[in-house]
A and B are shown apart, each in its own frame.
Chain A
């Protein structure tokens, strides 16, 4: 949940979209910050500002140290900021250490878990998944509604949609939502639960963050648009498998498995194509 900023940073604003004058790089950080502020000031979603602050600071400091030491430059801070704030929002723990370790692991993974010059995992997806797997007694995930009224949910969905559309990733969010809804029929039929119960998770804020910030990460998705959509469909499919096996944090584990696998397949195909071209 970090690199959404990368797309818009690559080029100038397309003509016709300049009505939105704000630099696109600032949109995701602004969106996630406004979500956090609105949610916490309205509903008190956080255990406390300290933990979220700790995650943000850890992510920023780690990113700065790594960028400076490894690449010799101060990295653009928005990516680390989104990682930190995402960790701070998503994790629920009464302890401080999960926030520090999760943010640290998320950032370092970008520099350590690399293959052919690319990092494979969405950083916060990997960090959160590892902490959930390894610290089940002390950590859980944001898994509740922010309030019980429709308006905040609609506002976040609309705002999130506008922003991912603005940075050219709306089709990914839409593909995921469509796939989730499709598979919810399968889950309802298989488990005998009411369909609305099967759909219920996507009405929660955890999914809003997942849909707008994780599945849209350009750094860890394959290149062609159709392949990106297919990968997101696969994420929803693997999530279905996890859910049928009653895995609570299914979407995070699904993305954690499918995302890097898709990248590796793409790299292998690229290499094969390159070999063939050389041979020809």
Chain B
């Protein structure tokens, strides 16, 4: 005990500690997000981005849908998705093309063909994939490419709030709708879908994730009790569809038989072999609830291991699912975007890093790496934007940009905490009255320093748009050995950021084609070893939110002018090693037959 004479001294010491603790709060708050100031971006960070969409002939402006008038008071929220981008070389001419979806009734989607001279031509109407939003059939929410019949040409699935459409690619010259013959469901209110060969039979299967329940027709509501029953524990969303490719262009619904029972509000889905079993697992980023991680048990069934592994314990508002080997150690981490609005709701984005190679347990390292705070986050992609040998992260964000000086957040915070009987009925939701809702947000381009820290350089490198970003995809649009960036904005223009990388940085590109495996090689696992490090990249279909990157894998090498080896594990299970491949070169690799 302090003697009576010393008590005042003790009081003073405690008072100083109290003041110091209070003063530390704003200091620590500021230090959580590392952002770079202005400067010469290519010198400091090794790259810069410039929007060239208009010059390249990309003049697409997304149109949002308009649903039943009973939702007029919250229309900007319920009609807040549909802008998407999916990249593929659909005509096999060696140049990456991309497909953009539109979401107003009777609006047209665009298929931008890369003419190889830095320009793009919309060929959607000519090839038969433009008019997919006809009144009464629903509207587009996204698209994903995959060669389901192994004929060498990427086919196109358009998922909608409505009837999903499958288009067969006829030699890159036309698309023929085959949805009915394929046996696709009549109506799914989906925000995500992906191709995967879950049973490794060499044919791509299809997964479509419902968001709203299937029975809801958003244009003709029978009831206004359509909203999630809880902000964080909702289980009344859309059903999921795992459609096994039976061959001959037919798909068979095996969802229940394979153990997928989720009725959560899934916004993003991605598939990759996360556990080293050789079979692709499925990760769902769910809105209004916990994530789900369906482990693929040898192609025979899926088991949700999200809780056991730690990735599905804390409910948030998941909107993105992308995979990346951020530490160059062969482990795929999962990046899931959520909501962060200062002073109201700070969920923080998650980077789930496996503790072990088998992915039996994960840690969320997003706060430690500085990639947790991204506003109302949507799509994100990993890719080496500056060719320094580590994966960077591009994130788009922003929910509803309307009245600049008004916010809907208070009203949302009131309804979001309400009991299911309150939150579940759209009539109870306060009128938005033209207010913004996490609008006009600055994007994040986090550069990975390879030492466990990311720095946001978006403003410095030129990613300065403030549209309501939804989807982002990477593609080498000019075959220059760099990743360019395509951004799809909700109710806004599509952006094409041309990437200029500082000289002296090497790279290697790999384009895979399966023989025994599915021809798109979706699910192939590639490890590139150089200069004492190994980076893993997988060939994926869907990645991020409503997005698909180029299938071609791009690995930056930094100053290293050589690669020791490339190891490929094909979806069939066959392994292949290529010793000392040339750098600064695109390698087209076909799966060996024997």
Contact = CB atoms under 8 A, between A and B. Distances in A.
Interface of A: 43-44, 46-48, 66, 68-73, 92-95, 97-98, 101, 104-105, 108-109, 111-113, 130-132, 134-140, 143-150, 153, 191-194, 196-201, 203-204, 206, 243, 246-248
B314 A47 contact: yes
B345 A112 contact: no
B7 interface: yes
A232 B327 CA distance: 54
Contact of A193 (B231, B342, B430): B430
A39 B463 CA distance: 42
A197 B430 CA distance: 7
A132 to B, nearest CB: 7
Given A101-B25, A148-B233, 18 more contacts: A44-B307, A44-B314, A46-B314, A72-B2, A101-B21, A108-B21, A109-B18, A134-B26, A137-B33, A137-B340, A138-B32, A139-B346, A143-B417, A144-B230, A145-B232, A196-B422, A203-B422, A204-B419
Interface in B1-58: 1-2, 7, 10-11, 14-15, 17-18, 21-22, 24-26, 28-30, 32-33
A68 B1 contact: yes
B409 A248 contact: yes
A94 B409 CA distance: 21
A132 B422 contact: no
A157 to B, nearest CB: 12
Given A94-B348, A135-B25, A197-B429, A149 B420 contact: yes
Given A101-B21, A108-B17, A193 B411 contact: yes
A88 to B, nearest CB: 14
Contact of B32 (A95, A112, A192, A199): A95
Contacts of B25: 98, 101, 130-131, 134-135
Closest 7 CB pairs of A and B: A200-B418, A72-B1, A246-B410, A148-B230, A136-B343, A204-B417, A135-B29
A148 B1 contact: no
B453 to A, nearest CB: 15
Contact of A101 (B24, B340, B373, B430): B24
B413 A145 contact: no
B366 A94 contact: yes
A277 B411 CA distance: 52
Contacts of B14: 66, 70, 108, 111-112
A201 B414 contact: yes
A138 B29 contact: yes
A94 B423 contact: no
Contacts of A137: 29-30, 32-33, 340, 342, 346, 373
B445 interface: no
B427 interface: yes
B543 to A, nearest CB: 24
A66 B2 CA distance: 10
Contact of A197 (B340, B346, B418): B418
Given A105-B18, A108-B17, A145-B230, A193 B346 contact: no
B420 A145 contact: yes
Given A47-B314, A137-B342, A143-B413, A112 B419 contact: no
A90 to B, nearest CB: 13
Contacts of B21: 101, 104-105, 108
B403 to A, nearest CB: 13
Interface in B270-301: 290
Interface in B395-452: 407, 409-411, 413-420, 422-423, 427-431
A200 B417 contact: yes
17 contacts: A48-B314, A66-B14, A70-B10, A93-B346, A104-B17, A105-B18, A108-B14, A108-B17, A139-B29, A144-B232, A145-B418, A153-B419, A193-B430, A194-B427, A198-B414, A200-B414, A243-B410
A177 to B, nearest CB: 15
Contacts of B418: 145, 196-197, 199-201, 203-204
A131 B315 CA distance: 23
A192 B26 CA distance: 36
